[in-house]
Chains A and B, each alone.
Chain A
């Protein structure tokens, strides 16, 4: 039983390692650090932080976009075009 489990475990372990490295390649820090194999714990923590920072960024950018749209010159023909473009 233990051998069967270990063999099945190794397959999923491989899959998980693959996914982990994929995840690592998505993180911005992985480029800076190079190819050093970080621990899974650290990687998951970084992923957490990265997702949070992405959330903040998306919020911030959408705020700025709405600000830009609000401060747009209403009489400008270009503004009209851009507004219609962005609305669609």
Chain B
């Protein structure tokens, strides 16, 4: 008899829960009740335990009434808890609303400060982010930098696979260097090719390195008319590449080296006999390295 009473109380609680579901309009609260009752059946609350204690002494009806008495009290407790939780939620809502308001304010601020002159740059201040004008300006700057970095990543092959600003910059530097090398190499080949052609046309046994060197210097001495004939590319870069040719010849066998000198070095180099010999030697090495 006493063994059945918990079962009955559970049943009654279940019906009470049903009533609660029927009466409450809030779906959250009803589900909350269901959850609590199932919980109660698994692990009886102190109130339920007290009811069970009463049941053991009294008849089924009294136990039922006791359960009926206790379950509303439990429900009331739950309701109170629910209410407090709700109030907490509302507190949170208020906070987040306030946070949203703050970010909105920041956005408005940024629109008034930055956007009219410079076009649309979206600046968002999350909760806890500084909103003074310096921080905003810094944020705009960082946005721009990362945008440029993305553009560069799109330009540089294989750069989208690496992560981290430093690695990306490294990759960009390497790529720029390799492109400079390539331009240098190509323009040097062209420069060495056209005069050598004429030279071979005039003199069939002109393989003498002195001869080639002399012609090479000719090509170097007039870089602009020769190289700019059909080149829409900036002449500045071509000047640079031709001026660094003597360096690139030295690094023909793999090492990448770059000269930051401008074109005046070339004229000096051509003017000095010692440098001339060096150039000849280098040209010869270069021709050998092609093979």
Q: Which A residues have a C-beta under 8 Å from some C-beta of B?
A: 12, 15-16, 19-20, 22-23, 25-28, 31, 39-41, 44-45, 47-48, 50-58, 60-62, 64-65, 68, 72-73, 76-79, 81-82, 85-86, 88
Within 8 A of A (CB), among B226-262: 230-234, 236-238, 240, 258, 260, 262
Closest 3 CB pairs of A and B: A78-B200, A44-B148, A61-B186
Nearest CB of chain B from residue A15's CB, rounded to whole Å: 5
Residues of chain A with a CB closer than 8 A to B81's CB: none
Q: In the complex, which residues 211-225 of chain B have their Cβ closer than 8 Å to any Cβ of chain A?
A: none
A84 CA to B189 CA, complexed, in Å? 13
Contacting pair A45 B166 (CB below 8 A): no
Binding site secondary structure of chain A: helix
Number of chain B residues whose Cβ lies closer than 8 Å to a Cβ of chain A: 51
Determine if B189 and A86 form an interchain contact, defined as CB atoms under 8 angstroms apart.
yes
Cβ-defined partner of A12 (8 Å) among B155, B166, B230, B238: B166
Chain B nearest Cβ from A22, distance in angstroms:
6
| Separation of A45 and B149 alpha carbons in the complex (Å) | 9
B183, A54: Cβ atoms closer than 8 Å:
yes
Which residues from chain B sit less than 8 Å from chain A, CB to CB?
A: 141, 144-145, 148-149, 151-152, 155-156, 165-166, 169-170, 172-173, 175-177, 179-180, 182-183, 186-187, 189-190, 193-194, 196-197, 199-201, 204, 206-207, 230-234, 236-238, 240, 258, 260, 262, 287, 290-291
17 pairs, CB–CB < 8 Å, chain A vs chain B: A12-B166, A31-B262, A44-B148, A47-B176, A51-B155, A53-B237, A54-B180, A54-B182, A55-B179, A57-B234, A58-B182, A64-B190, A68-B193, A76-B201, A78-B199, A81-B207, A86-B189
